[in-house]
């Protein structure tokens, strides 16, 4: 990451999402416009003694229908659910980009698709089989389903990507790091095209127990920045972008959706769960510097906004720290109020929300915000989204361990 805007310009030409409020970009965006919540009663497995009984699960995703046309990757439908989401989102993004894959020189493409946890659903099933049902062996595909690089590999195989292909892993900043790194590879001339983002699917009994034990899940709902907020709500999904060098996109006559103008990252290096104001502030400032713009140029900020007590106050302080006077006029919202917290995939889904906000001139709401919490004193676009011209948008991702990553999107280069 450099602090100068050297190198090639990088643009976004494709978007893909799978979320609890829509399994395509169009469906997702109309739900966002409508202020729809994806949180529902937990289901799909025995709830046993669970105390948290809600989640933002995807209940209308038919992987066989969505992935049946895959040609090069013959076993995608036998992969873990997290790889299905990644494959479907990548497929949508590649189609939207209208780019022919594999590239003529397949080594000029990258596929960076991260996951906070990889194939945990498979993990849990396999261990239940071994430890509870005393099965003699796990299914032969178990290992290939579990590995955290499975989604990147599956998507890379399907689209014939022969350049850098790997996963990032930084909890809730995973997708943002993946997109940022892909941006750097294109900027620095390593590749011309990248499929980048993240996918997550960890809503199982075991994961719910683990999150429950950390006492950060809300039993009621995801209400970022609200007085009534009492934790986040686990979600699942994927958010993936197709990035290209500006020259490459222009040469093939692609529709450019936005420029990926800035990327900043910084680590708190202090505590696994207690965030600092400094880390997020530095990441935001770096992203602005990288984009060559000032805080006052940002029209919309998609906050990390997890609805935990600590994050929302801390993020508000960091935003004030960076945006100074402009913070009063800044439109800030947390789309997690609608999607829930898709962990590693969050930054990918939120990058799509930022670009749609720019395209559509509409700023998403923070739903469920009847009364702001103490220390939460920005314009969070409460309850109802707003028509607003968005030239530059920022997307924040702040993860456990203090791993901060920030993206800035700008208008297509003139």
Partner 1 sequence: MDEVATKIIEILRKHMKEQRDDIGLDTALTDLKIESLDLAMIVFDIEDGFGIEIPYNANEDVEDFKTVGSVVERVKSLMAAKAGSAAKA
Part of the chain binding partner 1 (CB under 8 A), chosen from 79-87, 138-146, 158-166, 195-203: 138-146
Part of the chain binding partner 1 (CB under 8 A), chosen from 81-89, 92-100, 137-145, 374-382: 137-145
Shortest Å distance, C-beta 11 to partner 1: 38
Of 63, 341, 354, 376, which one is the catalytic site residue? Answer: 341
CA distance 58 to 176: 22
- 248 counts as catalytic: no
Tell me which of 5, 33, 139, 326 binds partner 1, using CB under 8 A: 139
Tell me which of 6, 104, 132, 140 binds partner 1, using CB under 8 A: 140
Measured from the Cβ of residue 320, the count of other Cβ atoms closer than 10 Å reads 18
Query: 397 and 404 in contact (C-beta within 8 Å)?
Result: yes
Burial zone of 324 (CB within 10 Å; 0-12 exposed, 13-18 middle, 19+ buried): exposed
Of 172, 222, 354, 376, which one is the catalytic site residue? Answer: 172
DSSP 176: H
Tell me which of 136, 215, 387, 414 binds partner 1, using CB under 8 A: 136
Number of H helices and E strands in the chain, helices first, is 13, 14
- Asked if residue 141 binds partner 1 (CB under 8 A), the reply is yes
Tell me which of 75, 210, 273, 384 binds partner 1, using CB under 8 A: 75
Query: 11 and 256 in contact (C-beta within 8 Å)?
Result: yes
3-state SS, residue 217: strand
In terms of phi and psi (left: phi > 0; alpha: psi -120 to 50; beta: otherwise), the region of 381 is left
Shortest Å distance, C-beta 74 to partner 1: 7
Tell me which of 6, 132, 137, 272 binds partner 1, using CB under 8 A: 137
3-state SS, residue 83: helix
Shortest Å distance, C-beta 118 to partner 1: 19
CA distance 195 to 348: 11
Shortest Å distance, C-beta 75 to partner 1: 7
- Asked if residue 71 binds partner 1 (CB under 8 A), the reply is no
Part of the chain binding partner 1 (CB under 8 A), chosen from 7-15, 100-108, 133-141, 251-259: 133-141
- 354 counts as catalytic: no
Minimal CA–CA distance to 234: which of 140, 317, 342, 138? 342
CA distance 52 to 282: 35
As given in the structure block, the two tokens for residue 124 are 């849990």
Pairing of β 300-302 and β 331-333: parallel
Shortest Å distance, C-beta 147 to partner 1: 14
Shortest Å distance, C-beta 152 to partner 1: 18
Residues between 239 and 258 with contacts to partner 1, criterion CB under 8 A: none
Part of the chain binding partner 1 (CB under 8 A), chosen from 135-143, 176-184, 287-295, 403-411: 135-143
- Asked if residue 33 binds partner 1 (CB under 8 A), the reply is no
* Phi, psi for 117 (deg, rounded to 5): -135, -5
- 169 counts as catalytic: no
Query: 279 and 268 in contact (C-beta within 8 Å)?
Result: yes
Residues between 143 and 182 with contacts to partner 1, criterion CB under 8 A: 144
Catalog residues that contact partner 1 under the rule CB under 8 A: 74-75, 136-137, 139-141, 144
The catalytic residues are 172, 304, 341
């Amino acid at each position: 990451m450099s602090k100068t805007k050297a190198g090639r310009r990088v643009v976004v030409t494709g978007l893909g999402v799978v979320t609890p409020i829509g399994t395509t970009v169009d469906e997702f965006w109309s739900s966002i416009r409508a202020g729809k919540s994806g949180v529902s009663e937990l289901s799909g497995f025995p709830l046993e003694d669970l105390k948290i009984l809600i989640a933002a699960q995807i209940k209308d995703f038919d992987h066989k229908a969505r992935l049946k046309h895959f040609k090069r990757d013959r076993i995608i439908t036998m992969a873990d659910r997290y790889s299905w989401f990644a494959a479907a989102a990548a497929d949508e993004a590649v189609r939207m980009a209208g780019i022919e894959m594999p590239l003529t020189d397949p080594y000029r493409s990258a596929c960076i698709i991260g996951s906070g946890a990889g194939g945990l659903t498979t993990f849990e099933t396999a261990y239940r089989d071994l430890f509870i049902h005393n099965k003699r062996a796990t299914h032969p595909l178990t290992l290939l389903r579990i590995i955290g690089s499975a989604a990147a590999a599956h998507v890379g195989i399907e689209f014939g990507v022969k350049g850098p292909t790997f996963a990032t892993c930084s909890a809730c900043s995973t997708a943002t790091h993946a997109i940022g790194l892909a941006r750097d590879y294109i900027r620095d001339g390593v590749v011309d095209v990248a499929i980048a983002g993240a996918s997550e699917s960890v809503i199982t009994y075991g994961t719910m127990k683990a999150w429950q034990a950390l006492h950060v899940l809300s039993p009621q709902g995801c209400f970022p920045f609200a007085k009534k907020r009492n934790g986040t709500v686990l979600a699942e999904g994927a958010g993936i972008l197709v990035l290209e060098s500006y020259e490459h996109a222009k040469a093939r006559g692609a529709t450019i959706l936005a420029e990926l103008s800035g990327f900043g990252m910084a680590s708190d290096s202090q505590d696994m769960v207690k965030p600092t104001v400094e880390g997020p502030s530095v990441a935001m400032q770096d992203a602005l510097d990288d984009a060559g713009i000032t805080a006052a140029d940002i029209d919309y900020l998609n906050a990390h906004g997890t609805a935990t007590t600590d994050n929302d106050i801390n993020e508000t302080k960091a935003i004030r720290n960076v945006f100074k006077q402009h913070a009063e006029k800044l439109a800030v919202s947390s789309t997690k109020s609608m999607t829930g917290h898709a962990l590693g995939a969050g930054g990918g889904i939120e990058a799509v929300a930022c670009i749609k906000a720019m395209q559509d001139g509409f700023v998403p709401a923070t739903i469920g915000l009847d009364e702001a919490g103490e220390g939460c004193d920005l314009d969070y676009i409460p309850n109802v989204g707003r028509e607003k011209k968005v030239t530059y948008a920022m997307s924040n991702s702040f993860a456990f361990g203090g791993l901060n990553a920030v993206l800035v999107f700008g208008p297509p280069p003139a």
